[in-house]
Amino acid sequence: MIQFLRKHSLLLSLALCLAWTGLFANMTGSVGTSNSAEQEKALNTALERCITNCYALEGFFPPDLQYMEEHYGLSYDKSQFFVDYQPVAANIRPDYFVLLLKEDNK
């Protein structure tokens, strides 16, 4: 079982990251029940998971947001949120900041 997990750890971690991203996408699409603060929290959680998974699987932190979008399925509403992602080095956890651009008026 352990060998199976080691062999397929990339796929399992990718599936987890995609599930979190899907959860975030579902929250942004729901009508009236979710608010901007919850969406911002979900985006922060998705970013943390993608950053951690990338380092655990590949041995370096993601160089930019596009890398996380392409390799780990990160997606968010760019018209509602601005993410300032500042990589420091491949082996130092990056700094990021999520800024709400406009309130969700659903």
- Cβ atoms of 58 and 33 within 8 Å: the answer is no
Q: Is the pLDDT of residue 94 over 90?
A: yes
Residue 37 belongs to domain spanning: 2-100
What is the reported pLDDT for 33? Answer: 46
Number of structural domains found in the chain: 1
Would 45 be classed as within a structural domain? yes
Q: Please state, in angstroms and rounded to a whole number, the distance separating the CA atoms of residues 72 and 62.
A: 10
Is the residue at 13 inside a domain? yes
Residue type, 39: Q
Q: Which residue has the higher pLDDT, 18 or 99?
A: 99
- pLDDT for residue 65 is more than 60: yes
Residue 105 within any structural domain of the chain: no
Give per-residue pLDDT as tens, 13-63: 777 776 777 776 666 555 544 688 899 999 999 999 999 999 999 999 999
- Show the tokens assigned to 90: 């491949």
pLDDT at 82 over 90: yes
Does the residue 106 lie in any domain? no
The radius of gyration computed from the CA coordinates of the chain, to the nearest angstrom, equals 15
